[in-house]
Every structure is written in C-alpha cells, then in structure tokens.
Amino acid sequence: MLVSKRPLGCLFEIVETLVLTLIIFFVIQTFVAQPYRVEQQSMERTLEPDQYVLVDKLTPRFDDYKRGDIVIFDPPATWADARGTPYIKRIIGLPGDRVAIRDGLVYVNDVALQEPYLYEGQPTVATGPDSTWVVPPNELFVMGDHREDSADSRVFGPVPRDRVIGRAWLRYFPLSTFGVLPTPTYPELAGSPGAGALSPAPGKPEASPSAP
C-alpha cells in the first residue's frame, strides 16, 4: 500500500509546484514587472527594434511617473492606428504643463527643453493639427525620441494615466546593450510654474509582451 501511494503523492507535489509557479508568474507579470520587445523605430537611438526591455509596474504606484521617463501605454481608443499594440514613448509633459512646438524645439511652460536623447539631433515639428497643448489632470504628453518616425501625443493628444502600463527601466537583451534606462533631468525647468502632479492610481510598445 505504501509503495503504491508514492507515485500519486509525487505527482501531486509536482502539480502543486507547477500551479504555484504559474500563480507567482502571473502575479509578477500583472503587478510587478513584464518583459516587452521593441518593434518600431520611434525610440531610436535610445531603444532599437528587437531589443527587450523590462517594464516596472510596481514602483509607479508609490513613485509616480516623471518627465523623461520612458513608458509603455495603450494608445487612446480613438487612435485609428492603435491595432491593440502598446506604444513606447518618453514623457514630455505632466498635468498642468503647457507644451508648445515651435522653431524645431519643444517648449514646456515657455521654456525650451534640452533633449540630448533625440535621434541624430532631429528638430521637432508638429505632426497634427495642433502645436500647443495644455496637459489635463491625470494625463501625460508623450513623444518618441525619433521625432520624424513617431506617432505620439502630437497626433493623438495626451494619454490618460490609467492607460499607462508601466515604466521601462531596464534594457536586458541583447546582452551587449544591457543597462538601466536613465531618466534625464531638465534643469532648465527648475522653478517653472504650471507642472502639476498625477493622482495616485492603481496600477507592445510599438512593442509586444515577450521574452527571448
């Protein structure tokens, strides 16, 4: 009797371990971090197609998004080219900011941003009907680093905070590109009026959830 029960007991332990592993994996991917593969060119040279990033979903719950963060988000439902694929862009404007594009530069609250991360130093031009926006509460104004090859808030407007999936913080594949994605500072905006704060919210970039 004891010998006949061992295989069943061992099988039960294996199934129990697999179920627990799946639950842990689901919880981590849903609430903590998730890998994504970059699919488009809109964040060159910061991020190139076929690179993989780890998206932080946890810390934005208590350390909210900042200007310069790279975020993964679901584009507005009204955006015809969304195709159900998450986008990856950089936060340029926070709630209350007045964002304007003129003379090839981005102005936030009438101060020209210094943007060393731009692809080959490209000028920024308005690609939609507007060139000035005031970012509403709990929304973010986002743009790609490759300004000439990016569908972003210049076209579909600011993105609601609740459509943001998380903050891209680590580029981990290929291994030769491994490194933390830094958030730039904008000292020229120190003391600038108008920048609001995001309200706490629970929390395929042109990318798709995946891992190598």
Work out the mean pLDDT of the chain and round it to a whole number: 83
Give residue-wise pLDDT tens across range 169-205: 999 999 999 999 999 999 999 866 544 545 443 334 5
89 is catalytic: yes
Question: 107 pLDDT exceeds 70?
Answer: yes
The domain limits of the chain are 34-209
Average pLDDT over residues 31-60: 90
Q: Model-level pTM?
A: 0.81
Average pLDDT over residues 51-75: 93
By C-alpha distance, which of 120, 123, 126 is closest to 101? 126
Identified catalytic residue from 42, 57, 150, 153: 42
3-state SS, the chain, equals CHHHHHHHHHHHHHHHHHHHHHHHHHHHHHHHEEEEEECCCCCCCCCCCCCEEEEECCHHHCCCCCCCCEEEECCCCCCCCCCCCCEEEEEEECCCCEEEEECCEEEECCEECCCCCCHHHCCCCCCCCCCEEECCCCEEEEECCCHHHCCCHHHHCCEEHHHEEEEEEEEEECHHHCEECCCCCCHHHCCCCCCCCCCCCCCCCCEEECCC
Residue 77 has what pLDDT?
Answer: 76
Looking at domain 34-209, its CATH class is mainly beta
What is the number of other CB atoms lying within 10 angstroms of the CB of residue 98? 18
Q: How confident is the model at residue 156 (pLDDT cuts 50, 70, 90)?
A: very high
Question: 211 pLDDT exceeds 70?
Answer: no
153 is catalytic: no
Identified catalytic residue from 89, 150, 153, 204: 89
Residue 72 has what pLDDT?
Answer: 96
Question: Rounded to an integer, what distance in angstroms lies between the CA atom of residue 87 and that of residue 84?
Answer: 9
Is 210 or 182 the better-scoring residue by pLDDT? Answer: 182
Give residue-wise pLDDT tens across range 79-97: 756 567 899 999 999 999 9
Residue 121 has what pLDDT?
Answer: 86
